[in-house]
Amino acid sequence: MSVCPTQHPQCWRQALGGLLLLVVPVTGFAQTNFASPPTVSTTLLSTAWSEPAWVADIGVELTGTAGDDVFVAAANQALIDGRFSNSVWAVGSDVQLRGIVGDHVRIAAIQATVNADIANSLTAATIQRLDIATNTTIHGALYAMGQTVTSLAAIDGPVKILSKKATLGGTLKGDVWISADDIVILPHTHIQGDLTYLTTNRDLVLAQNVVVEGTVRRGESFTPVSLSWQTLLLLQGYLLLSGVMVGIPFMLIFPLTLSRAVHLAQTRIFHCGLVGSLSILLVPLLTGVALMSVLGIPLALVLGASYAVILYLGRFVIALWLGSKLLRQHGHVTALSATLALIIGLVIFYAVSILPGIGSMVSLVMTLYGTGSLLILLVRPRVMAIVKNPQPDQRDTEINQSVQ
C-alpha cells in the first residue's frame, strides 16, 4: 500500500485523477425483474409484470403491461408506451410517455412529452420544455415546472404551473394557478374553477371564447418577510450559539488546519478572495450540470453537500482572525485563549451581518474569504507549510518558497 504524503502534491493529483475516472459515465446497465445484459437501448415488448419493474440504461424504450409501479431512468431518451396499472416514475434527458397509467405519473427531465390517460395526478419538473398533448386526460391534479410549459389536456383536478412561458388550453375542472413571465390562454379553453396568475408583464387579457366560471385575479407577488428588531436579534442569537457549538469542536479537533487557514487568509488575501468568489459561481453550476445525468446525481449530491459544509466552516476562519487581532494574540496561544478569540470573532461576524443595507453583503464577503482559504488548503496541500516566526518583511518570500 502506498502513502501520499502532503509534501508530494503530484501524488494527490494522481489520486484525484483516479477519483474522477470513477465518475465517468459507464456504457449503461439494465435492471428489470428478469436478467438482461447491458445494452445501449433496452426494449421490453409485451411483457407483463406482477411486481415493481426497474429499467435503467443509456436509452430506454419500454412497451408492455405492468401490474405494479414502473421506474425508468435513462441518460438520453426514455420512450414509455404501454398499459401500467400503478404509478410511473421517469428520469431522463428526453422523456416521452404514452399509453394508460392507473395511478400517478412523476417525471424529472430536461424535456418531456406526455400523451397518455392518467388516472391520478401528473407531477413534472423539466429544465427546458414540457409538452402535454391534446389527447391527454389527467383525472387528478397537474403540477408542472419548466422553462416552457404547454398543457392542452383535459384535467379534472387543480392545476399549478411555474415556468417562464406557460401555454394553457383544454377543459380544466379545478382551480388554476400560473406563475410565468409570459402566459397564453388559448381560445376555447374552459376553466370551471378560479384562475389565479402571477406575472411580471402586463395584466392577462383573455379572448372572448375563453370561459372561466370562477374568478380571474392577479395574485400577489412574493415579498420578503419583514422581521422586527426583536425577532432579528433573537434569530442572530440563535445563529451565534449554534456557530459557537460547531466552531469550538472544529477548532479543538482541527487546530492546525484552522490556524493554517487563518495564516493563509492574512498573507494571501487576494488569492483567498478570488478562490472563494469563483467557488460560489462554479460549484452550483457544476452541481446543476451533474444533475442533468442520472449517473451524475450522486456526484452532485456529494459536491453540493461538501461545499455547503466548507462554506459554513469558512466563517470560523474569519472569526478566529478577527478575534485574534482584537485580543492582539501572536504566536502560540492556549486553547482557552483561542476559544475566546473565536467567540469574540463570531459575535463580530453576526453583529455585522444585521447592519442595514450592507450587512448581508459584508458577511458574504467575509465567508467567501474564509472559504477560499480552506479550499486552497484542500487543493494545494503545500500551502499548509507554515514558517515559524517569520519576519514581517520576509513573510511573503518564505510563503512563496513553500508553495513552489
Which set of grid coordinates corresponds to residue 328? 492582539
Which set of grid coordinates corresponds to residue 238? 440563535
Please report the pLDDT score of residue 222 as a whole number.
52
Cα dihedral 150→156→162→165 (10° resolution): 20
d(CA 23, CA 286): 13
Q: Which residues are CB-neighbours of 36 under 8 A, at least 6 positions away?
A: 30, 42
- Reading the chain (404 residues) residue by residue, the pLDDT tens digits are 333 333 333 433 333 333 333 333 322 333 333 333 334 455 554 455 667 777 877 788 888 888 788 888 887 888 999 888 889 988 888 999 999 999 999 998 889 999 999 999 999 999 889 999 999 999 999 999 999 999 999 999 999 999 999 999 999 999 999 999 889 999 999 999 999 998 876 778 888 889 999 898 887 655 555 667 778 788 888 988 998 999 899 888 888 888 888 888 888 888 888 888 888 888 888 887 777 666 778 888 898 899 999 999 999 999 988 888 888 777 676 778 888 888 998 998 988 888 877 888 888 888 898 999 999 888 765 434 433 444 444 434 433 443 33
pTM for this one?
A: 0.52
For residue 279, which of 253, 313, 242 has the smallest C-alpha distance? 313
Which set of grid coordinates corresponds to residue 218? 392577479
Question: How far is residue 156 CA from its own chain's centroid?
Answer: 32
Q: Which residues are CB-neighbours of 13 under 8 A, at least 6 positions away?
A: none
Tens digits of per-residue pLDDT, 43-57? 554 455 667 777 877
Tens digits of per-residue pLDDT, 104-119? 999 988 899 999 999 9
Tens digits of per-residue pLDDT, 150-198? 999 999 999 999 999 999 999 999 999 999 988 999 999 999 999 999 8
Please report the pLDDT score of residue 130 as a whole number.
95
Mean pLDDT of all residues belonging to the chain: 78
d(CA 276, CA 296): 24
